[in-house]
Structure 1
Amino acid sequence: MTMSIPLAEAPRELRRTTPISSTTCRKLPRTQLSVDVPPNPRPARTPDTTHRARDQYRDVPAQCEAIAQLDASDPRREVLRERLIERCLPLAEHIARRFHERGEPLDDLIQVARLGLVKAVDRFDASYGANFVSFAVPTITGEVRRHFRDTGWAMRVPRSMQELHLALMGATKQLTTTLGRAPTASELAKALDIDKSEVLEGLRVANAYSTLSVDYPLTDDERPLSETLGDIDPALSRVEDHVTVQPLLDALPDLERTVLVLRFFGNMTQSQIAARVGVSQMQISRLLAKTLKDLRTKLE
């Protein structure tokens, strides 16, 4: 390929191959020189994320070894450890974002991933010759997965169903992007190579993943969930008693039934009842005791 370039801007090596002196070259700043330039080589492939991460944290093993050689009481040990953890925070955040949109707030996942990073830094042993990234990634990932397993479920769910739930969420997200709509159960089953019945079971399990607080606002006026839930009606527990006792009350003599009604439904005292029916208070007391005893016996 032939390219024209200003001679004054030509590389020094190229100027040496021409019969024009450097002085002449300065006098001809706009002179064009035709040269054969080999085609640009194909750009090298950009290394993947894992390789970039390994290169970025290549010196971490040496730093871990330096920290391990310091005495636990040495103040420099904690300073170096904190600096190393802070430097590796992007790795933890990258892993946390991979689990985003799975039902847990991203901020919580980042905190869990950072905890996993701290464990990775403290447990890493450079003497084994392992790469730090190869050790840290599964350690951090395991911590995040453990968070989902231990705190994400509102009730005890078998681990196999938890894994199915995660697989369904990932497949749903991918198919939604591909299809432009939510996938059907059959499409999810085909994508995961499982039966449709397993998909339906996994979708039902999702209901046990998280619960809503009773203070969670459901409407635009921020009316909490607790105000929409039914409550136990104390009167309902008396319905059965009323149905059972009513025939027994109807079978009582008129005087005994009247006394019971005035006492328990009219809230009258024994003296008031005695004055109403024209007997003594003592007679009313004895009549109530006898009537209630008979009713208890019949109810038993």
Structure 2
Amino acid sequence: MRPAELSALTGHAPTTVSRYRAGKRVPTMGFVLDLIDEAPNAGFAVDQVAPRLGHPWRGAKDPSGHRNFAEFFFTIRVMAGLKRNQFAIRLGLTIDCVREIERGVLPDEALIRRFVRTFLRPDYSKRDVIAAFSQLRPDERARELRDKFFEFQDLAKGDPSRKSMENAIIEECVPMAQRIASAVAWRYRRPELAEEIWGLGLVQAVRDHDPRRGFLPGYLKARIRGLARGAIWSRMQSGVGTALRDYGFAVREAEEFLLQDFGRSPSEFEVAQHLDVPVEVVREVAQAFVASDVLYTEHLDLLMQDVIDMSLASREREGGDSNLVRRLRRLSGVDQELLYLFYFDQFTISEIAEVTRSSEADVSSGLKWALARLCSEDT
């Protein structure tokens, strides 16, 4: 089936479908569900397809084993063997409403009650479901902000009060953004980033936040964390790539030559004299090597040595950025986050599970699939 036909069938853009087919992006769970729901006779089954694409599949009614309500919601639908229209009828909803919840729109308490009464009783209660997902039990502050966002979104684009209300929300959330940015920056051991990222993260979050899908504090934290990670990644890539591309190979050769000549490791000044370059250049290359070693940890090297050439010479021939870096950039945001936290930030499995609000089993599985996609020739 051509991308245009898949696009018409699932409602996803043809370019996105083409990237899925080329292996340049991992299909979202929403796409998998849309495809299976719209092509029931194609022989696909969620529990068979989802794990192959790196999406965990539990197939369990226990809500505590799922990452979010959307995942739990479609899991129950699939386990019941119902298409969206059948599921919608059982719950007294429209098909569009079912689709939106599966894509992250939060249900109201009345819907949760019907959902539990229809599909989960007597094993689980509404209280069990709400207790399992923090997104369903926000604090009073988050509820108030959500009400303001609904009011804000109801204002017409040209309404002069819309901009003033946006500014009021931003001003009100400044302390929250600063606290989150400080915590995130310290978590990444880059406290100096806090002042750089809190303002931009807050503005982006207020402008892009959809209150139907959650609450601002969680969304703001995700945006600020993404900015911090992007800033660290960008600095590492630009600093490592530029320094090593321009002088790295020459500095390494000079160090090896002088080591044999002196019988000891040469100083930065001696290397600079040998190459007739400022000592600052040699120092920058040394710092870039350190940053490179942080990114390409020994553990990561051992895992991928049969697939990816990690030598400095190969990185130089490829123009600064290694094959691994280019592959990493093509991965989905979820895959990049897992690899980044585990290999660069040296988080343990349990720490990643805490940060991402996932189980340790999910983190281990996610890392395995992220590595598989990273090492795949089609990535």
TM-score, reference length from structure 1: 0.33
Taking CA–CA contacts closer than 8 Å with sequence separation of 6 or more, which of the two structures ends up with the larger relative contact order?
2
Give 1 or 2 for the bigger CA radius of gyration.
1
TM-score, reference length from structure 2: 0.27
